Amino acid sequence: MKISVIGCGYLGAVHAAALSSLGHTVTGIDTDPARAAQLAAGSAPFHEPGLEPLLQGGLRDGTLHFTPDPAAAAGADVHFLCVGTPQEKTTRRADLGYLTSAVEDLAAHLRPGSTVVGKSTVPAGTSAILTRLLAGTGADLGWNPEFLRQGTAVSDSLQPDRLVYGVPDGTAGAQVARVLDEVYAPLLHDGVPRLITGLATAELTKSAANAFLALKISYLNGIAELCENAGGDVVHLAQALGLDARIGPRYLQAGAGFGGGCLPKDIRALQAQAEDAGAGSLGRLLALVDTLNTETRHRIHESARQMCGGQLAGRRITVLGAAFKPDTDDIRDSPALDIALRLAGSGAVVTVTDPRAAGQPWFRYPELRFEPETAAALRGAELTVLLTEWAEYLALDPRGVSSLVDRCAVLDGRNALDAAAWRAAGWFHRGIGRGRRAGLSTIDAAHSGVGS
């Protein structure tokens, strides 16, 4: 099939490359000419494992193209809408401006009988707005929300847990479902389940899924606080919960909480929708999930303060990780970045390191020093705070790095380090929700690094 993908960011670039690998001829359109040119040269504009080989394969075979020209959508059978739906600047709602403007541009290039499919995350009712913008084009509209995660986006796209098609009523709906079945034929052949729903249900399914994940994480972070105050260990507790088949083991990792370009903005947009639609209790629940997440960041800041003897001013702190999760360079609403800024705001001298985020605009954060090399970042640290659990940080040899730091004190903000190994190497190690809070002045009690 001939397919256009409109918006080639974290979602669209992967979707375009994945569709070309499924045998379609795909044109990716992005209004950012630099992004379109980079993709056309076979280079991913962000770190996403497995994306570049997929891009280069499609470009080499001539089944994948990228351009900033909206007119290049003309002639395609299917058009996927993958533009951003960020939080509005002054409200909690999703800003649908990129989407409406993309559809207005697209309308001029549609041929009757073609299909427009939304993939962006949107509030219920968005399809109805876009259907009005498409009136007179002869195109049908469907909604096929995307559930990929950054860091595993390629495999999530090619082996998704499920496909959801939101379709309009009547013959148009049957036609949209037929078209999507053709788009995803190889995945359906592999047995991926697909559900056909109404448009509003498909729109809501995506927001409800993200909100549920956020709720699970915040719940565990709330339990982590309780463990800290009451003397439990949230890691063991989560293992015990996860073995209950009704709960499952995933998204139970307590720590610095959720961030990124999706979960935070999506729970806020769902909260706004719930309030607008008279589902006030759901709105309050989602507001609380958001508050718990913010409090989690605050508690890590306070733990760092405690580990520094109650005073952060002038303390040299190294933050391991800047991305909102490992295997991505994305720092949008990153807990690691937020906590680093809070520490700097309290007067600490903060060095941030991350294996992939060196290309981010660090000049916007003059209060932080970014150092791409882990060893250089650790040199002279009085406190080390792990906030993004990159594999390279989990593989650090605590004995080896103790000679770099001034104080062997580590705050494991993701409960991801081998606490026993770090303690055995002479480090003062503290996790999140793992027993009662330690007393003050712990940094002074921590072993001095060999080099200090």
Ligand X SMILES: NC(=O)c1ccc[n+]([C@@H]2O[C@H](COP(=O)([O-])OP(=O)(O)OC[C@H]3O[C@@H](n4cnc5c(N)ncnc54)[C@H](O)[C@@H]3O)[C@@H](O)[C@H]2O)c1
**Residues at the site binding ligand X, with contacts judged by CB under 6 A:** 6-12, 29-32, 35, 82-85, 98, 101-102, 105, 120-121, 146, 148, 150, 261-262
Pick the closest to residue 145 from 131, 126, 132, 170 (CA basis): 126
2 labelled as ligand-binding?
no
Please tell me whether residue 217 binds ligand UPG under the rule CB under 6 A.
Answer: yes
333 labelled as ligand-binding?
no
Min CB(355)–ligand X separation in Å: 19
Tell me how far apart the alpha carbons of residues 411 and 405 are, in angstroms, rounded to a whole number: 14
- Please identify which of the residues 82, 227, 262, 408 carries the catalytic annotation: 262
364 labelled as ligand-binding?
no
Min CB(182)–ligand X separation in Å: 22
219 labelled as ligand-binding?
no
SS3 for the chain, per residue?
Answer: CEEEEECCCCCHHHHHHHHHHCCCEEEEECCCHHHHHHHHCCCCCCCCCCHHHHHHHHHHHCCEEEECCHHHHCCCCEEEECCCCCECCCCCCECCHHHHHHHHHHHCCCCCCCEEEECCCCCCCHHHHHHHHCCCCCCEEEECCCCCCCCCHHHHHHCCCCEEEEECCHHHHHHHHHHHHHHCHHHHHCCCCEEEEEHHHHHHHHHHHHHHHHHHHHHHHHHHHHHHHHCCEHHHHHHHHHCCCCCCCCCCCCCCCCCCCCHHHHHHHHHHHHHHCCCHHHHHHHHHHHHHHHHHHHHHHHHHHHHCCCCCCCCEEEEECCCCCCCCCCCCCCHHHHHHHHHHHCCCEEEEECCCHHHCCHHHCCCEEECCCHHHHHCCCCEEEECCCCHHHHCCCHHHHHCCCCECEEEECCCCCCHHHHHHCCCEEECCCECCCCCCCHHHHCCECCCC
Binding marks (x or -) toward ligand UPG, 104..143, rule CB under 6 A?
-----------------x----------------------
206 labelled as ligand-binding?
yes
Which of ligand X, ligand UPG, none does residue 114 bind to, with CB < 5 to 8 Å depending on kind?
A: none
Which of ligand X, ligand UPG, none does residue 259 bind to, with CB < 5 to 8 Å depending on kind?
A: ligand UPG
**Interface region with ligand UPG, contact rule CB under 6 A, candidates 38-46, 91-99, 148-156, 196-204:** 148-156
Q: Per CB under 6 A, which of residues 247..276 are in contact with ligand UPG?
A: 251-253, 255, 257-260, 262-263, 266
Q: Is 8 a catalytic residue?
A: no
Which of ligand UPG, ligand X, none does residue 258 bind to, with CB < 5 to 8 Å depending on kind?
A: ligand UPG
30 labelled as ligand-binding?
yes
Which of ligand X, ligand UPG, none does residue 29 bind to, with CB < 5 to 8 Å depending on kind?
A: ligand X
325 labelled as ligand-binding?
yes
Which of ligand X, ligand UPG, none does residue 98 bind to, with CB < 5 to 8 Å depending on kind?
A: ligand X
Residue showing the smallest CB distance to ligand UPG in the complex: 262
Min CB(278)–ligand X separation in Å: 25
Residue showing the smallest CB distance to ligand X in the complex: 9
Min CB(265)–ligand X separation in Å: 7
Min CB(252)–ligand UPG separation in Å: 6
Residues with a catalytic annotation lie at 262
| Contacts to ligand UPG by CB under 6 A | 121, 146-150, 210, 213, 217, 251-253, 255, 257-260, 262-263, 266, 324-325
Annotated binding site: 30, 35, 85, 121, 206, 251-255, 259, 265, 325, 332
